[in-house]
Structure 1
Amino acid sequence: MKFIKQLYNDEIDNEIDKATYEATYNPSEKIEIPFSEAKELYHYCSLESFYSIIESNCFWLSHPKFMNDLSEQEYAIGTTKKFLQEYNQNINEKDNSKRLLKLIESKFELCESKFKGFDEDKYKKHGFFTCFSSDGDSLPMWSMYKGKNVGLAIGLDFSDEKYFVDLPISRDKDSDIKKISPFYNPPYYYFSDIEYQEDIIKKSINIFLDHISNYYNSSKTELNSNINYAENYLASKAAFTLMNMSLDLKNSNFSYEKETRLILLEYTEEDVKFRVKDKFIVPYIEFPLEEKKEVEDGNEKKIKKKFDKPIIPIKSITISPNAEEPELVKASIWAFLNHKGYKLDKKQIIQSPIPYKPR
């Protein structure tokens, strides 16, 4: 029985991946991979965070529960739930998938209730992410950095092949190795432009649910011997996926952020670390890491290490307009980057020309 259940798990996991990819990367949709257009993105951060990113050769991906504004995720989850309910209401009671869709809705409500609290098991069921903007010199973004708190906007081009590394192109054991970006392998980790229009996210959710419903209807006979188990597993996976799809949605009042997120959905318990942030001890993940094989006591095992070469694809650095002694700040940033192997021209490090001097 355990073997049969694992077969179901693998098949359903594969189908969920297909549905997620279809909903998120449908070529006819607006949602696209940012670096496929060689689009420069900007990561706003403090000087301290910038130092940590370059020193560790990683971005620190955060759990959505500990973002600066909790209401943004509550809004996104609530809106996703509304679209799920609307989809269910439009399905005929005689449709075979109606039972499954009601179960997905129930599982999603369970996810929603758990999100309002927090426990060790919960962080394993959510995507971790970090944020970028397509606007590298935004006054509302700079307003977060006041007094002597210097902010930076790191300009990044994830299509720059100079920062590509040798990685397997698929999850197959005998996969070919090619030079690719370590930041993109959907549906496990990918870039997603934040949507501030609910109708576009609604369309993606409908595509996802259409795929899951069609799969269920076409496979129900084969799943019949273990239908209760298969339905529960499929509904749980679909609900978790919808929770993660909600990461793509924000209230239109935040549209000035012009945000793109790097979202990681696949990770292990060993990948999660903790740090102190303000009044909390919060989970985070360093990303990306290189997976290597090592032999210990005659046994081969996989471990994850930081990449040896610089992989943060820096194109420019913009310093916040409030920075004091900007020329010395520029010089210190350039010296640090040069020391870490980044060959940035000094002209690529500038201070924002916005006349902003907060009290």
Structure 2
Amino acid sequence: MIPERLFEPSDERVLYHYCSPEAFVSIVKNKTVRFSDINMMNDAEEGRWGYQVWLEVANKLLAPGPQIGLPEPVGLDFIDAVDSFWSVSGVRLTSFIAAFSKDADSLSQWRAYADDGRGYAVGFRSSALRRLPIQLLEVCYDLDQQVREMLISVSAVFLEWLDKGRDFDQPWFRQRCLELAMSSIAFKNPAWRDEQEVRCQHVVSVDISESGWILRDDGGESEGQPIAGVPVEFHIRNGSIVPYIDLPFDPTRDPIAEIMMGPKCPNSPGNVLFLLGNSGLGRIPLRGAGAAYR
């Protein structure tokens, strides 16, 4: 795990999900948040950027000279073991994510994710998101910081490995490598820094056998209680087949703090209020993005 990437906001902290009008209506009517396979995100480097950071750290650890804070040099056997389990993790598990932003009024996100400003940014309370079987990860866009955090986390695994008998076959070691791989999705290219992203991550199992390739949601845990998995579905996005799951939120616990209407949104507030009322969500505050309602 890369502990610096864990996001632990206050319950009332609001995070914004930019979406098209169609996705907004689906959220309101179905009371769900959509999570998509990270490999099908709009950033072509998804899933690979974090691995490149790991490779840079591995080369630093293997470089000649003393490693500060480590009692002995890190050997190639340790690096190979971490890399092996990291690679296997991508075959057995994959991250499904829902993207949120700290910024309620981002022009680039209106354009990219909200139908060129005709959509919405749904402001979810952090408490509502944490009740989902997910992990909240705060994205880091600074490469030097990414390398520092990865170096500290890998060094911690190395020290634990030394302390526990230098055995690569123990379940705890495989788990640590898996956690590194899964949390590395919180590292992104600096070009995306204006999005101020917080990622909701839900891990889905990958079952590849002679009988077929299957994605399976095994569920998770929320507030100390087990949560059953939901069906993995598929839809078409820009010609690509995209796996997704819809995780339900509890509409009785005020999950949505406010709704931002995009700068080119053609609807009046009344249209939205009727949708909310008829869907059982009551009257949620509405705001216009960057301009008065039109």
- Same fold, judged at TM 0.5 (above): yes
Question: Which of the pair has more CA radius of gyration?
Answer: 1
Q: Aligned-pair distance for 1:37?
A: 7.0
Name the counterpart of 1:82.
56
More strand by share: 2
Name the counterpart of 1:4.
none
3-state SS of paired residue (1:316): strand
- Rounded to whole Å, the distance in 2 between the matches of 1:246 and 1:183 is 21
1:315/1:344 contact within 8 Å kept? no
State yes or no: 1:243 paired with 2:181: yes
3-state SS of paired residue (1:42): strand
More helix by share: 1
- Rounded to whole Å, the distance in 2 between the matches of 1:241 and 1:88 is 22
Unaligned runs of 5+ in 1: 1-19, 26-30, 116-121, 165-180, 222-226, 288-305
1:35/1:157 contact within 8 Å kept? no
Unaligned runs of 5+ in 2: 206-214, 218-228
Q: TM-score, normalised by structure 2?
A: 0.76
State yes or no: 1:135 paired with 2:135: no
Q: 1:55 to 1:316 in 2, by over 3 A?
A: same
3-state SS of paired residue (1:35): coil
2:20/2:115 contact within 8 Å kept? no
State yes or no: 1:204 paired with 2:149: yes
Name the counterpart of 1:62.
36
2:137/2:183 contact within 8 Å kept? no
After superposition, give the CA deviation of every residue in 1:7-31 in whole Å (9 maximum; x if it has no partner): xxxxxxxxxxxxx2xx415xxxxx5
State which of 184, 204, 216 in structure 2 corresponds to 1:269.
216
Name the counterpart of 1:291.
none
Name the counterpart of 2:121.
153
After superposition, give the CA deviation of every residue in 1:41-100 in whole Å (9 maximum; x if it has no partner): 111001111122223322111111100122344333222321233234367799486332
State yes or no: 1:285 paired with 2:245: yes
Q: Aligned-pair distance for 1:246?
A: 1.9
3-state SS of paired residue (2:257): strand
State yes or no: 1:318 paired with 2:277: no
State yes or no: 1:340 paired with 2:282: no
Q: Aligned-pair distance for 1:350?
A: 2.7
The letter for the 2-side match of 1:332 is N
2:232/2:245 contact within 8 Å kept? yes
Name the counterpart of 1:214.
159
- Rounded to whole Å, the distance in 2 between the matches of 1:228 and 1:77 is 20
Q: Aligned-pair distance for 1:247?
A: 0.7
Q: Aligned-pair distance for 1:150?
A: 2.5
State which of 10, 15, 21 in structure 2 corresponds to 1:41.
15
Q: TM-score, normalised by structure 1?
A: 0.63
For the aligned residues, what is the CA RMSD? 3.3
After superposition, give the CA deviation of every residue in 1:276-296 in whole Å (9 maximum; x if it has no partner): 122232222222xxxxxxxxx
The letter for the 2-side match of 1:100 is F
State which of 65, 84, 94 in structure 2 corresponds to 1:126.
94
- Rounded to whole Å, the distance in 1 between the matches of 2:251 and 2:258 is 19
* Residue-pair matches, total: 266
State yes or no: 1:183 paired with 2:138: no
1:84/1:105 contact within 8 Å kept? no
3-state SS of paired residue (2:165): helix
After superposition, give the CA deviation of every residue in 1:80-126 in whole Å (9 maximum; x if it has no partner): 32123323436779948633233213444x45xx96xxxxxx3x412
Q: 1:65 to 1:146 in 2, by over 3 A?
A: closer
State yes or no: 1:351 paired with 2:293: no
The letter for the 1-side match of 2:135 is Y
Name the counterpart of 1:193.
138
State which of 75, 79, 85 in structure 2 corresponds to 1:101.
79
Q: Aligned-pair distance for 1:182?
A: 0.8
- Rounded to whole Å, the distance in 2 between the matches of 1:311 and 1:247 is 30
- Rounded to whole Å, the distance in 2 between the matches of 1:276 and 1:215 is 43
Q: 1:74 to 1:229 in 2, by over 3 A?
A: closer
Q: 1:344 to 1:96 in 2, by over 3 A?
A: same
Q: Aligned-pair distance for 1:344?
A: 2.4
2:94/2:204 contact within 8 Å kept? no
Among all aligned residue pairs of Structure 1 and Structure 2, give the percentage whose two residues are the same amino acid.
20
- Rounded to whole Å, the distance in 2 between the matches of 1:308 and 1:263 is 18
1:57/1:310 contact within 8 Å kept? no
3-state SS of paired residue (2:137): strand
2:85/2:177 contact within 8 Å kept? yes
- Rounded to whole Å, the distance in 2 between the matches of 1:32 and 1:220 is 29
- Rounded to whole Å, the distance in 1 between the matches of 2:48 and 2:79 is 22
Q: Aligned-pair distance for 1:311?
A: 5.3
State yes or no: 1:229 paired with 2:176: no
After superposition, give the CA deviation of every residue in 1:144-170 in whole Å (9 maximum; x if it has no partner): 3457x72101112224xxx59xxxxxx
Name the counterpart of 2:212.
none
- Rounded to whole Å, the distance in 2 between the matches of 1:202 and 1:312 is 39
